[in-house]
A and B are shown apart, each in its own frame.
Chain A
Amino acid sequence: MADSPEAIRKSIRKYLIVGGILFLGTVLTVLVATVPALDIGRHGFDVYDCVLGLAIASTKAGFVAVVFMHLNDEKKAIYWIFGGALVFGAFLYLLTAWAKSDLIHDPLFYGDSKPNIKLGH
């Protein structure tokens, strides 16, 4: 992380450039979502728009984290803490996603006799 006055003076230009990138990224996200000519995939919102929108958002978030939050030049401990949280969060998400297809009322679980449970649909 820039700590000396010289290094900080140099960083200011970098902060401005990143600010500009974030503005442009936001405009781009809105344009691909609202201008029909820039709409990819099917007409309206679809999985391609989702991937593109999240990719732009992730790039913007990356710039904020790397430049504004100084993750480009940090100590190891910070990477472990923040990276650990990201990995753990992603793991919990995947765990839930995996469990979503795991039926609570699996009819075969009860063998041949059907359980006396109404699922309501």
Chain B
Amino acid sequence: MEIPYIVKARKDTGLTNSKIAIWLFLASEVMLFGGFFSAYVFMRIGADYPWPERTLPVLPGLINTFILIASSVTVVFAWAALKLRKWRQFQIFMGATVLCAAIFMCLKAVEYNVKFHHQAVRLNDYSIIEGHLDYKKDKDKNYIKKDGKKIEYNLINIKAESVIFSTVRFHKPWVEQILEQAEEQGSKMVLTEPYQGADGRADAKTTYVEAGTELSLDLLLKIREQHLKARAHNQKLRADALRCAWQIAKDANPGKRGWEISDQVGVDAEKLKPDMLTEMGAISFKIDSAAKLSFKPKNIKEADGQSRLRDDTVIKGKLLESPMKFHHVDAIDFQYLAMKAVQKGIDPMVAIENSWIIQNADFAKEAWEWHCEEVEKLEKELAKQDREPTLKDRYRIGWKEFSKKAEQEGMTDMGDWTILEEFKGPNYAARGEETFPHLAVPRGEIAFASKFVPQWNTYYAIYFTITGLHGLHVIGGALVLGYYLFFGRRMYETNPEWLANRVEVGGLFWHFVDLIWIFAFPIFYLM
């Protein structure tokens, strides 16, 4: 089918159909992004925590803005080149546009990646610690310190006495992990009670698995199979009985509607019992000598006495010390704590001095004392202009402050941060443990922990929503423009004006993508 009015304009509108269509699409996009920016405004106004002002590194955002502006210029040049029937120039400018899109997305990927690996923890006293948890693995999968000593990864440790698996939901790799850990410690995991049940005759019981049988993946699979078989059998039995009961009720009350006789329909569970097979929804294994089992924090909801894995496996036993170990702490933020203290009528400085981290980590105490002196200097400086430090100046010690402190004390001689650090965050290896020290935070002190992802706070939620959606638009736009670049030659030779119109429409979308970023950049990076 031929699409009408794609080269010549319609008489009534004076426009090609494709142009009308793209503007209608852009109108809907205005409302879509407008809705998200409105959400940003309301979240910021209504935030019940100190909004992270100017928290993102400016340089990557600035470079990305330059790239998008440059691509807007090159795409309009590409269109002009087509209009002037200069194919080679069109190729160059369109190629530059697609390249700009690729660079933009690469920088965005680096930015996202840094956030996905940056850990934040809010303690019970509302102080916030930021840094990195991960240790580098060596060849033997051990986690090692710089001095070569093996150290433990961030894990939840339990002195397990028994484990109850959900017959249907158990996750195979976790079963293998539990088995491996128990085996390493010479512990055996055996079935607590036999899995036996009726097999259709009232007084007879079949033993499917003997008590004392050792745990293995095959055993769990066998139990699952038997359980599912029994469940299907029982379901059929119940459904048949119910169907039969409905039939009897209908025969006894001819002409009556279902809802009028529903109270007469019932199944006698006792009568069915002899024919039912035994289902085993969960199966328990005891550990002969209690073994220390360790799990990744994201996989377990830990509690003293009984913890639960995400696949519903229950681990019974004492919760051992499982501190969250920061490989490097790169920021301490007391803004939230100060806000809460003021709300309760407490002097924020007193609250900070009594916070867990100041009381328990010497480096934090030192850093805070150093920071207070710096704030004092800033206060004097700003007082000359009749100004005051911001909350962030007063209560946040960021990685640049940690670096400055180390530099002043002669611990590192890196001086100002490098351009690479603006993209990837602090260079721990070069600046060392003296600048960004280790810290172990007891689990009991942690109120909430997360990477810098949408769940951390509403700022990151809306940041990822808007920039992620914008990124998808960049990819979509680049694909369309790339199509014209690589597959447009034939159309150029047969109907160049049609291609020019297509490029104009694609270009309009591309300018809109630039337009969104023009607002997103200052809002997220500078405000």
Contacts and interface: CB of A to CB of B under 8 A. Distances in A.
Interface of A: 3, 5, 8-9, 11-12, 15-16, 18-19, 22-23, 26, 29-30, 33-34, 42-45, 49-50, 53-54, 56-57, 60-61, 64-65, 68-69, 75, 77-78, 81-82, 84-86, 88-90, 92-93, 96-97, 100
B69 interface: yes
A30 B42 contact: no
A25 B526 CA distance: 14
Interface string B231-274: 00000000000000000000000000000000000000000000
A81 B41 CA distance: 25
B382 A43 contact: yes
A53 to B, nearest CB: 4
Interface of B: 13-15, 19-20, 23-24, 26-28, 30-31, 34-35, 38, 41-42, 45-46, 53-54, 58, 62, 65-66, 69-70, 72-73, 76-77, 80, 83-84, 382, 385, 387-390, 392-393, 507-508, 511-512, 514-515, 518-519, 521-523, 526-527
Contacts of B15: 75, 77-78
A77 B508 CA distance: 16
Given A12-B77, A92-B31, A53 B13 contact: no
Central interface residue in A9, A44, A84, by most chain B CB within 10 Å: A44
Central interface residue in A69, A81, A84, A85, by most chain B CB within 10 Å: A69
Contact of B515 (A3, A49, A61): A61
B27 A92 contact: no
- Counting from the closest, the 10 A-B pairs by CB-CB distance are A85-B27, A44-B390, A89-B34, A33-B526, A19-B73, A43-B387, A85-B30, A53-B522, A22-B69, A75-B14
Contacts of A84: 27
Contacts of B518: 22, 57, 60-61, 64
Contacts of B508: 69
A63 B393 CA distance: 36
A45 B38 contact: no
A20 B46 CA distance: 38
Nearest to B392: A44
A38 to B, nearest CB: 12
A81 B30 CA distance: 11
**Chain A facing B: main interface SS:** helix
B514 A92 contact: no
B388 A43 contact: yes
B42 to A, nearest CB: 7
B42 A5 contact: no
A97 B34 CA distance: 13
Contacts of A81: 20, 23-24, 27
Contacts of A50: 527
B77 A75 contact: no
Central interface residue in B23, B38, B42, B66, by most chain A CB within 10 Å: B23
Contacts of A97: 42
A29 B14 contact: no
Contacts, number: 141
Contacts of B526: 29-30, 33-34, 45, 53
Contacts of B41: 93
A27 B58 CA distance: 11
A110 B196 CA distance: 60
Nearest to A34: B58
A57 B385 CA distance: 28
Central interface residue in B19, B26, B41, B522, by most chain A CB within 10 Å: B522
B62 A26 contact: yes
Contacts of A93: 34, 38, 41
Given A12-B80, A30-B58, A53-B526, A78 B519 contact: no
Given A5-B83, A8-B84, A89-B34, A100 B42 contact: yes
Contacts of B35: 89, 92
Given A15-B77, A43-B382, A45-B390, A53 B30 contact: no
A5 B515 contact: no
A61 B72 CA distance: 12
B27 A82 contact: yes
Given A45-B53, A82-B23, A23 B69 contact: yes
Given A15-B80, A30-B526, 5 more contacts: A5-B83, A16-B73, A22-B69, A23-B69, A85-B28
Nearest to A63: B518
B469 to A, nearest CB: 16
B511 A69 contact: yes
Given A26-B65, A29-B526, A50-B527, A61 B38 contact: no
Contact of B80 (A8, A77, A82): A8
A88 B31 contact: yes
B13 A75 contact: yes
Given A26-B66, A92-B35, A15 B519 contact: no
A85 B31 contact: yes
Contact of A68 (B30, B53, B511, B522): B511
Nearest to A84: B27
B466 to A, nearest CB: 14
Contact of A23 (B24, B66, B515): B66
20 contacts: A12-B80, A15-B73, A19-B73, A22-B72, A29-B521, A42-B388, A42-B390, A44-B390, A53-B522, A56-B522, A64-B72, A64-B515, A65-B511, A68-B72, A77-B13, A81-B23, A82-B23, A85-B28, A89-B30, A92-B31
